[in-house]
Structure 1
Amino acid sequence: MSLTNRIKELADQKKVTFAEIERIVGISNGQIRRWDTSSPKIENIQKVADFFDVSTDYLLGRSTTTSIEGNVQEESLSSQIMFRMNTEGLSEDEVDELKDEVDRFLRFRRSEIERERERKQDDKA
């Protein structure tokens, strides 16, 4: 299901129109319908998600669950939003390259943290 179809489904349940949603959340008139053919700004998706009290992952079709449960999911969503905001305008290849760099960095930092933990345990012994 597309982004606009999910929003349409939620709008029907709440008995509001796209125009009303756009006015209430403060985005341009006709913007939601254009999301079928153009990429929306993440902050606009977040505004619509907040309006319906659903996760952005639900709107984007990445989840069938409308709500965000638990801090882990909230932190994950926050990380995803930050990543999306920082990759806006990059090509798909550039985004993939950046994802690989982030993965390498996280693995490196994890190993450093584990080594530091082991060193501290050795110092205590």
Structure 2
Amino acid sequence: MNFEEKLIAIWSAKRPDIKSGRELERAIGLSNGQISKWRTSNPSQKTMQKIADFFHISVDSLLSGRIESTANQPVSNTDLASEGVFFYEGREISEDTMNFIRETLKRIQK
């Protein structure tokens, strides 16, 4: 399995909301067409770390193409008041559920 195939497997499992390779490249901060170049080569260590950080996995998991347990993965520091799509266990959270979470957090913070 080449690096591109490993990346695609992890992408499919971790971020199915990202629909195209170009969209993934933009989200990670890679240059256009970079992913397809990894059919025959590997990215630099720095780029691997950037990709691993994006998916909240270790570089070892990235290199193996296997995803580690999600139990101890970091939670992103995203403002829940902002617009965006949020996921839990690979499924999109509905706007009604997000509103419930926002209101609950507001009550807890007071």
TM-score (norm 2): 0.51
Q: How many residues align?
A: 68
1:32 aligned partner: 35
Identity %: 38
- Calculate the aligned-residue CA RMSD, in Å: 2.5
Whichever structure has more helix as a proportion of its residues is 1
**Greater relative contact order structure (CA < 8 Å, 6+ sep):** 2
Give yes or no for contact 2:10–2:67 (8 Å, CA) kept in 1: no
Aligned-partner Cα distance in 2 for 1:34–1:50: 20
Q: Which has the larger radius of gyration?
A: 1
**Could you tell me which residue of structure 2 aligns to residue 101 of structure 1?**
none
Unaligned runs of 5+ in 2: 70-110
Runs of 4+, deviation exceeding 3 Å: none
Return 5+ residue gaps in structure 1 as ranges. Answer: 68-125
Indicate how the Cα distance of structure 1 residues 4 and 49 shifts in structure 2: closer, same or farther if over 3 A, else same: same
Matches within 5 A, 1:37-52: 37-52=40-55
Deviations 1:71-124 (A, max 9, x none): xxxxxxxxxxxxxxxxxxxxxxxxxxxxxxxxxxxxxxxxxxxxxxxxxxxxxx
Letter in 1 for 2:44: K
